[in-house]
A and B are shown apart, each in its own frame.
Chain A
Amino acid sequence: MGRVFIRGTDLLTLVINFFSGNETAKDLLSRELVFWWIRVPRCLMAILVGSGLAISGAVYQALFRNPLVSPDILGVSAGCTFGAALGLVLPFDSFYLVHVMSFGFGLVAVSMSITLARMIAIKAVMILVLAGMVVLSFFNALLMILKYFSDPYEQLPSIIFWVMGSLSRVTWENVLVMAPFTLTGILLFILLGFRLNILSLGDIQARSLGLSPSFFRRLLIVTSSFMVAISVATCGQIAWIGLIIPHMARAIAGPEHERMIPMTALLGAIFLLAADTLARTVSSAEIPVGIITALTGAPIFGYLMIKNRGSGWL
């Protein structure tokens, strides 16, 4: 699917050729390139980013004991986006610079939120959310300054494109850099599923059940923020996944994190894969996948809120 059409039989030939080591026929060569160097990494990336964002959302919701939060609230995404925009505006024309800056500012944003919350030092959870909002607004303001001063013909469009999020620039290299982090994170969260149940009861009960909440909260926030930062640094902002997918998983698998965390990862992967497929097939020009996720995510979330009213999670 997409601009270059590859028939099912050709696809089969390509896969067989790859594993048997046969030379590909001349007329299939361009399709082989498209398949192995564009489509496959892109699909893998959709799976990684989708499951990573969704599972970070699930962890945030458990940590903050609030089903309406997502990784965006600590300012991670805003920081990443600002970093990327700064990288695009700066005169050095380097693809890596954009990624590194994006990732770095994402982590700076979370650290700012956590530090600010520590300085206030009352009602840890609530203040952390508020501190996150402060940091988020700050980075959004910085982003606006950048947009205002950037070159409207060259730089502004690429910033806006970044903000909307897309998987179109994905390479094998990106996939290989991202996979170990995301997979480690997913594995960690799956292993700690039962502890997440206990953390979601709040600090007093968590402590009385033998868990040190401050240590776990730090570990989980840092890990999930890392996962989000690396996603945004590669693909831009892809909205809504961290918020709605955990809810869908909870509706299917129940609220116990042992079961809902793997379900969240699975649904996140499927959702973003489907959204990305839609993004590149709906029209001849590609639509940024962030628009698709927001467009489908918002109504789904509204529907879930209506359907689950009175069940206790609102």
Chain B
Amino acid sequence: MAVILECKDLRFTYRQVPVLEHISFKVHSGRFCAILGRNGSGKTTLLHCLNNILTPDSGKVLVHGQDIADMGQNQIAQKISLVPQEHLDIFPYRVIDVVVMGRAPFLRLSQRPGPSDFKTARQALDFLNAGSLALKSFNQISGGERQICLLARAITQTKHLMLLDEPTNHLDFNNQYHLLSAIKSLCRSKGISIVATLHDPNMAALFADDLIMVKNNTIMEQGSAGETMTQKNISALYDIPLGIVKINEQKKLFFPESILSDPMNPTKTNAEEDKGDH
């Protein structure tokens, strides 16, 4: 398997306070790599270092063997796309006009997207079963639909590497699985590599091929899902004793031990699960 992205001893500080240190990992083509960690562990910062939104203090990020520090922002954008976490209100653009912005790195400075660009954008929406959104206003669709729309933009933008910042945020139960399945099928059918930050270790267990676990500003554990998704690792990552629910030989779910040991108290269960989601 070809290495798409390589991160070498990355270090990032914010106002002299280290946020990330000694970060080294590789992402292979067509793999879904999930970054897990507690809130504020630096997951988003790491993601932003990978496409030069933030510049690391030291260390290298290589895409197809080329150092991104030597590439222009446009060149980077041709290879790496980002589905951001924030949903800030913008001017009420139509969905198709937001999706077609993914073509921007391939257009000359004064060029505007043409019919073929709109066709690509349309195909991306159709691929995600969201063709009906095309002419709606981006501001008036639901959070889940917006996330789908931004994913379509990322597909329009690159065939190589996609960074996703908590893609399942704001999504309902159904949409979370729908979106992650769509992302996974992108990996498999188009050979796109994915690096996504996720909140829910169970989601990572279901969908991710590889894991990067971030704790105390550095990588605590990394490797394939089978090796890393153990009770011991996840318990250490989230600082909580864990229990396991086995579904079958391969699949298992992780829950805080306190929940599993006290099944007679469903209200508590709900409260705890809510906490874990956000």
The answer to whether A209 and B157 touch across the interface, beta carbons within 8 angstroms, is yes
Q: Does A31 contact B (CB under 8 A)?
A: no
**Looking across the interface, which residue of chain B has its beta carbon closest to that of A207?**
B53
Q: Which of B76, B110, B111 has the most CB of A within 10 A?
A: B110
The answer to whether B104 and A205 touch across the interface, beta carbons within 8 angstroms, is no
Note all chain A residues with C-beta closer than 8 A to B91. Answer: 62, 67, 200, 250, 255, 312-313
Note all chain B residues with C-beta closer than 8 A to A258. Answer: 112
Q: Does B51 contact A (CB under 8 A)?
A: yes
The answer to whether B53 and A197 touch across the interface, beta carbons within 8 angstroms, is no
Q: Does A217 contact B (CB under 8 A)?
A: no
Complex CA distance for A136 and B88, rounded to whole angstroms: 28
Binary CB contact string for chain B from 71 to 103 against chain A (1 if under 8 A, 0 otherwise)? 011111110111010101111111001000110
Interface residues on B, range: 35 or more
Shortest Cβ gap from A144 to chain B (Å): 37
B-facing residues in A194-243 (Cβ within 8 Å):
194-195, 197-198, 200-205, 207-212
With contacts A200-B90, A204-B48, A204-B53 taken as known, whether A210 is within 8 angstroms of B105 at the C-beta atoms is yes
Shortest Cβ gap from A211 to chain B (Å): 7
Shortest Cβ gap from A164 to chain B (Å): 32
Complex CA distance for A201 and B110, rounded to whole angstroms: 18
The answer to whether B89 and A209 touch across the interface, beta carbons within 8 angstroms, is no
Q: Which of A192, A209, A212 sits near B102, CB closer than 8 Å?
A: A209
Note all chain B residues with C-beta closer than 8 A to A283. Answer: none
Note all chain B residues with C-beta closer than 8 A to A211. Answer: 73-74, 104
The answer to whether A256 and B92 touch across the interface, beta carbons within 8 angstroms, is no
The answer to whether B109 and A195 touch across the interface, beta carbons within 8 angstroms, is yes
Complex CA distance for A7 and B90, rounded to whole angstroms: 51
Note all chain B residues with C-beta closer than 8 A to A311. Answer: 92, 137, 139-140
Complex CA distance for A205 and B48, rounded to whole angstroms: 11
Q: Does A177 contact B (CB under 8 A)?
A: no
The answer to whether A205 and B84 touch across the interface, beta carbons within 8 angstroms, is yes
Q: Which of B88, B92, B102 sits near A313, CB closer than 8 Å?
A: B92
The answer to whether B90 and A194 touch across the interface, beta carbons within 8 angstroms, is no
The answer to whether B84 and A312 touch across the interface, beta carbons within 8 angstroms, is no
The answer to whether A312 and B107 touch across the interface, beta carbons within 8 angstroms, is no
Complex CA distance for A67 and B104, rounded to whole angstroms: 23
Note all chain B residues with C-beta closer than 8 A to A62. Answer: 91
With contacts A192-B109, A210-B105 taken as known, whether A197 is within 8 angstroms of B93 at the C-beta atoms is yes
Q: Does B52 contact A (CB under 8 A)?
A: yes
Q: Does A193 contact B (CB under 8 A)?
A: yes
Note all chain B residues with C-beta closer than 8 A to A255. Answer: 91-93
Complex CA distance for A256 and B104, rounded to whole angstroms: 14
Q: Which of A198, A210, A212 has the most CB of B within 10 A?
A: A210
Note all chain A residues with C-beta closer than 8 A to B107. Answer: 194
The answer to whether A210 and B109 touch across the interface, beta carbons within 8 angstroms, is no
Q: Which of A194, A254, A312 sits near B111, CB closer than 8 Å?
A: A194
Note all chain B residues with C-beta closer than 8 A to A39. Answer: none
A-facing residues in B179-206 (Cβ within 8 Å):
none
Note all chain B residues with C-beta closer than 8 A to A256. Answer: 93-94, 97
Binary CB contact string for chain A from 121 to 150 against chain B (1 if under 8 A, 0 otherwise)? 000000000000000000000000000000
Q: Which of B48, B101, B112 sits near A209, CB closer than 8 Å?
A: B101
Q: Please list 9 pairs of residues, one from A and one from B, whose beta carbons are closer than 8 Å in the complex, sorted by A's number.
A: A191-B109, A194-B107, A195-B109, A201-B90, A207-B51, A250-B91, A255-B93, A311-B92, A311-B137
Q: What are the 5 tightest A-B residue pairs by CB atom distance, in nearest-first order?
A: A210-B77, A312-B139, A208-B82, A210-B105, A191-B110
Residues of A within 8 A of B (CB): 62, 65, 67, 191-195, 197-198, 200-205, 207-212, 250, 254-256, 258, 311-313
Residues of B within 8 A of A (CB): 48, 51-53, 72-78, 80-82, 84, 86, 88-94, 97, 101-102, 104-105, 107, 109-113, 137, 139-140, 157, 163
- A191-B110, A193-B112, A255-B92 provided; 13 other pairs, C-beta below 8 A? A194-B104, A194-B111, A202-B86, A202-B88, A202-B90, A205-B82, A208-B80, A210-B77, A212-B73, A256-B93, A311-B137, A312-B89, A312-B140
